[in-house]
Amino acid sequence: MRTVTTFLSGLALLAALTSGARAAASPLAGAMHALAAAVTHGDVDEMLEARAAFAALVADAPASPHNQYGLALADWRIVPLLDRSRDAQARKLCKEGIAACERALACDPRFADALALEAALQGVALGFVPGGGMSLGAEILEKNARARAMAPGNPRVQLLAAINVLHQPAFVGGGPKAARDSFERTIALYDAAGDHDTTGIAWGREDAYLWSGRCLEALGDWAGARARYLQVLAIAPDHAWAKHVLLPEAEKRLAAGRAR
């Protein structure tokens, strides 16, 4: 009897491992992995290649809200990194990212991730429309609030809201002081989620540490910022922005402070 039980347990384990391998090898997971690797490398052209993979998924299955979300996420990653010579491309991708979020929400009106990402892309779009903050700012705030109400335990939704608060003017409740606690809540949500996110669109743990560090920089807390960048590198040791720009700058500032 014990032999039979052991055999059946082995079959169950094999089935679980096979299922996990299939999930990890899904086209959506592959595109998400490619985008994450491109972000780690800080390579815009590599991000555009990942975006093409999402575009192919959308063409194949346009009714999938997760495919649409992946395309929009790639646009959110890419647009801020395009220089002035590629301004027309940046505008186009930002517009297409917003449209992808709208399509995702048409497929699933309760898809909080898509609503939060749409608000984030609208925030990026403000860079193309000087003075447009008054008309669009209230809409962005409302969408972020709705997304958090839909999914209060979703770390990605909280992260995008926190980044938005960081970039908002202080007179509407934004800025680094207001954002600091939002990033702490975001990190706590990622910690609570652990590695058990099965949505297929998990991302952002290192972003939470990175943007928390940026927030602490703005508050003059270079020791805190350095600690956050080290946490980024503990997750993604080759993260180009953290490794070659942010951490060295924090250490230089700390050394200068000690030398005074």
* 205-217: pLDDT as tens digits: 999 999 999 999 9
Residue position matching structure tokens 């979703």: 154
Mean pLDDT of 61-90: 96
The reply to whether 152-260 shares the fold of 27-151 is yes
Contacts of 10 (CB under 8 A, 6+ apart): none
Mean pLDDT of 46-72: 98
pLDDT of residue 131: 66
* Mean model confidence pLDDT for the chain: 89
Cα distance between residue 23 and residue 44, in whole Å: 27
Residue position matching structure tokens 């169950």: 12
- Choose between 19 and 156: higher pLDDT: 156
Superfamily of domain 152-260: Tetratricopeptide repeat domain (1.25.40.10)
**112 with 151: CB under 8 angstroms?**
yes
Q: What is the largest CA-CA distance in the chain?
A: 75
pLDDT band at 127 (very low <50, low <70, confident <90, very high): confident
C-alpha torsion 57→59→63→65, nearest 10: 40
Residue 228, pLDDT above cutoff 90: yes
Cα distance between residue 57 and residue 67, in whole Å: 6
The DSSP letter of residue 175 is S
Q: What percent of the chain has pLDDT over 70?
A: 88
Highest mean pLDDT among 77-81, 136-140, 191-195: 77-81
Task: For the chain, give every domain's residue range.
Answer: 27-151, 152-260
Cα distance between residue 102 and residue 127, in whole Å: 20
Cα distance between residue 66 and residue 68, in whole Å: 5
pLDDT of residue 1: 42
Burial class, 10, CB count within 10 angstroms (exposed 0-12 / middle 13-18 / buried 19+): exposed
C-alpha torsion 233→176→149→121, nearest 10: -70
The DSSP letter of residue 202 is -
pLDDT band at 25 (very low <50, low <70, confident <90, very high): low
Q: Euclidean distance between the first and final Cα of the chain, in Å?
A: 75
pLDDT of residue 37: 98
Cα distance between residue 49 and residue 33, in whole Å: 12
pLDDT band at 7 (very low <50, low <70, confident <90, very high): very low
In one-letter notation, the amino acid at residue 94 is C
pLDDT band at 17 (very low <50, low <70, confident <90, very high): very low
Residue 5, pLDDT above cutoff 80: no
Does 1.25.40.10 match the CATH number of domain 27-151? Answer: yes
